[in-house]
Amino acid sequence: MKDILIITNYFPPETGAASNRIYQLAEGLKNADYNISVVTPLPNYPTGQIFTGYKGRFKHTLKENDIVINRLWIYANNSKHKLLRLLAMLSYSFSLIWFFIWHKIPKRVIIQSPPLLVAFTAICLLRSKKRKLILNVSDLWPLAGLELGVLKKNTSFKLLERIERFNYKHANLILGQSEEILTHVKSIFPRKETFLYRNFPDFEAPIPKDTANSSKKIQLVYAGLLGVAQGIFKLCNALDYSNIQFHIYGAGTEQNSIENLIRTNHELDIIYHGEVSRQQLHNALRSYDITLVPLTQRIYGSVPSKIFEYARLGLPILYFGGGEGEHIIKKYELGWIAEVSNYNLLNAIIAKISTSNLTVKNKLNIQKTAFKHFDFEKQLEALIKVV
């Protein structure tokens, strides 16, 4: 059996797309007869606090489902302050250095990026002619940070660009979650070996429910990170509630603002459900008519994994993020598209949606499309051939 080490910032019991994606990759490779070990920080996302049961530890190693999980110390925080976020990345990088010194590293290593600095640390210390480094790129930093307004074109940005190029140059294989990511990599290193690795989910999909009811409001739901890039707080203020009830699941930096808004503005038909497990969420989502997938602006390279997860559940998608995700919604007829940041158009599209668009037949068609085109097992089989 071949050994593979996966280096990631996110892993269960943490929740969210990044954690689910890496866990599924680890499970899939394990089931394909690889010996899998994972190096990850002590769980802290998205609260920015080390989870109960892990506090006060410098490291924690446990074998779960035949996967060895090494959890390392990190200076945990979810602050918007750039210096504190940098300290968190640096602390995990130092923990990685300590881990590399005291452990034998396999000949195949999958490294999650971003964070760029963590990937840079791993690639710097592990590059060798005898080792294959596989860089799994889920977002294009620092470009995404520039588009979100988090970064400015200054000396720091140029330094991050140099780190990004270094990571691409010294990776033997680059996995990209979107065609745009691979196009970006190829524009820098045309001969670099790449592989399109979408964030396809792998779970037993329940049969969709028939929720269409002309006598009630459309039940619109958002589930995921409540962060700056998603802009849920602004959405809460911008939506027209005459025809919808808006349900929210998740946690993040905007959570307190959203909860305060709901408490002080009773005319807004919003229900916040907090954070639930993935299985609980899948069961809950079956009761809704439409799911909303928003981004505050079009981010080059970004394709929200929610698209593939919700399609597998047979849930119609109202996409409000632009870019490659918009193309996927159109191509596979998964729902509706509103121009990113155009809240008037978003409300106009919602107003035109009728119960005839929300039948169980339509939901089943979406689910069948997902089964056919977003198949995790087929993608994994193709990946194994290049790993």
Q: Any idea what DSSP says for residue 381?
A: H
pLDDT of residue 210: 84
What is the mean predicted confidence (pLDDT) over 253-269?
A: 93
Q: Which residues contact 346 (CB under 8 A, 6 or more apart)?
A: 238, 239, 318, 320, 338
pLDDT of residue 133: 97
User: Are 241 and 197 part of one and the same domain?
Assistant: no
The tally of domains found in the chain comes to 2
User: Are 163 and 290 part of one and the same domain?
Assistant: no
User: Are 226 and 103 part of one and the same domain?
Assistant: no
Tell me the pLDDT of the chain averaged across its residues.
92
Distances (CA, A) of 256 to 143, 227, 238, 262, 367: 29, 11, 18, 10, 34
What is the mean predicted confidence (pLDDT) over 334-343?
A: 94
DSSP 151-178: S-SSHHHHHHHHHHHHHHHH-SEEEESS
What is the mean predicted confidence (pLDDT) over 263-290?
A: 92
User: Are 142 and 228 part of one and the same domain?
Assistant: no
Long-range contacts of 191-196 (CB under 8 A, 24+ apart): 192/168, 193/386, 195/382, 195/383, 195/386
- Is beta strand 244-249 parallel, antiparallel or unpaired with respect to 218-223? parallel
- Residue 206 included in any domain: no
- Answer yes or no: are the C-beta atoms of 151 and 145 closer than 8 Å: yes
Q: Is the pLDDT of residue 46 over 80?
A: no
- Is beta strand 59-64 parallel, antiparallel or unpaired with respect to 67-72? antiparallel
Give the separation between CA 51 and CA 47, rounded to whole angstroms.
9
Q: Order across the sheet with 132-137: list the strands.
A: 59-64, 67-72, 34-41, 2-7, 108-113, 132-137, 173-176, 194-196
- Residue 208 included in any domain: no
- Answer yes or no: are the C-beta atoms of 148 and 63 closer than 8 Å: no
pTM for the whole structure: 0.88
pLDDT of residue 84: 78
Q: Which domain holds residue 318?
A: 218-373
Confidence band of 214 (pLDDT split at 50, 70, 90): low
pLDDT of residue 317: 97
- Tokens 């490779």 sit on residue: 29
User: Are 292 and 316 part of one and the same domain?
Assistant: yes
Q: Is the pLDDT of residue 26 over 70?
A: yes
Confidence band of 137 (pLDDT split at 50, 70, 90): very high
Read off the CATH number of the domain in which 330 is found: 3.40.50.2000
Confidence band of 215 (pLDDT split at 50, 70, 90): low
- High-pLDDT (> 90) share of the chain, %: 73
* pLDDT top residue among 297 and 123: 123
Q: Any idea what DSSP says for residue 75?
A: -
What is the mean predicted confidence (pLDDT) over 109-115?
A: 95
Q: What is the pLDDT of residues 149-188, one digit of tens each?
A: 888 899 999 999 999 999 999 999 999 999 999 999 999 9
Q: What is the pLDDT of residues 78-106, one digit of tens each?
A: 776 778 787 888 899 999 999 999 999 99
